[in-house]
Amino acid sequence: LIVQARVRRDTSALYTYDLGRRKLDPEPLVGVDGFDVTALRFDHKQGRVVGVPVYAQRPTWVWFDEGLAAAQAAVDKALPAGRSNVLLCGDCAGARRFVVDSRSDRQPGEYHVFDVAAGKLTLLAARRPWLAVSLPSSRRWSSTLKTSGCACASSSKRMTL
């Protein structure tokens, strides 16, 4: 069982709860210092949690499913650094294609299709294409997620990013 709690911290994190022992794991499954972690991505076809959205300085995902983690890494590598790239899908695990919402403080957003087998991104549409991408922004997102305060774990082991 996965639950949301605040244990020895001022923000919410996700923890595993052992129903048999009636005990909360003292270490978070996913927790980010300074930000609440409150949601899960459940894959109904596989009957399990496959990822967690992290709405930190730059929105990102922690994927427990290896295929989704690999797809996210390939998309992040293919698109410009500093963007938040979200895989849009329903039951995501095992998907052959994803729609990707890619945006940043300097890019209002683009939609791409990512073909997993080909490792190829194809631009579908741009959000507000009339805006110059180089315009300065009044709000800046970090070009990389500060992971020093992110504790993440797979179902078999815990790790701190």
Given this model, what pLDDT does residue 149 score? 45
For 66, list phi and psi in degrees, rounded to 5. -60, -40
Give the Cα separation of 20 and 13 in Å (integer).
Answer: 22
Residues 56-69 pLDDT 10s: 777 888 899 999 99
Q: Which residue has the tokens 């849009």?
A: 88
Q: What is the pLDDT of residue 77?
A: 95
Residues in the chain: 161
- Quick check: pTM over 0.85? no
Residues 6+ apart with CB under 8 A from 116: 67, 71, 95, 96, 97, 98
Q: What are phi and psi of 72, to 5 degrees?
A: -60, -45
Spans in the chain with pLDDT lower than 50: 135-149, 151, 153-161
